[in-house]
A and B are shown apart, each in its own frame.
Chain A
Amino acid sequence: DAKTTQPNSMESNEEEPVHLPCNHSTISGTDYIHWYRQLPSQGPEYVIHGLTSNVNNRMASLAIAEDRKSSTLILHRATLRDAAVYYCILRLQMNRDDKIIFGKGTRLHILP
Chain B
Amino acid sequence: AAGVIQSPRHLIKEKRETATLKCYPIPRHDTVYWYQQGPGQDPQFLISFYEKMQSDKGSIPDRFSAQQFSDYHSELNMSSLELGDSALYFCASSTYGTYYGYTFGSGTRLTVV
Q: Does any Cβ of A come within 8 Å of B8's Cβ?
A: no
Dominant secondary structure at the A interface: loop
Within 8 A of A (CB), among B41-74: 42-45, 48, 55-56, 58
Which B residues are in CB contact (< 8 Å) with A91? 99
Q: Shortest beta-carbon distance, A93 to chain B, in Å?
A: 7
Q: Shortest beta-carbon distance, B61 to chain A, in Å?
A: 18
Nearest B residue to A101 via CB reads B45
The answer to whether B106 and A42 have CB atoms under 8 Å apart is: yes
The answer to whether A43 and B107 have CB atoms under 8 Å apart is: yes
Assess A44 versus B55: contact at CB under 8 Å? Given A34-B101, A91-B99, A101-B45.
no
The answer to whether B99 and A99 have CB atoms under 8 Å apart is: no
A109 to B72, CA, bound (A): 38
Nearest B residue to A43 via CB reads B104
Which B residues are in CB contact (< 8 Å) with A96? 55
Which A residues are in CB contact (< 8 Å) with B103? 46
The answer to whether A97 and B42 have CB atoms under 8 Å apart is: no
Number of chain B residues close to chain A: CB under 8 A? 23
Q: Shortest beta-carbon distance, A26 to chain B, in Å?
A: 20
Q: Does any Cβ of B come within 8 Å of A68's Cβ?
A: no
> Which of A93, A94, A100, A101 has the largest count of B CB atoms less than 10 A from its CB?
A100
Q: Shortest beta-carbon distance, A2 to chain B, in Å?
A: 16
A91 to B56, CA, bound (A): 15
Q: Shortest beta-carbon distance, A44 to chain B, in Å?
A: 5
Q: Shortest beta-carbon distance, A7 to chain B, in Å?
A: 15
- Chain B residues engaging chain A, CB cutoff 8 angstroms: 4, 33, 35, 42-45, 48, 55-56, 58, 90, 92, 97, 99-107
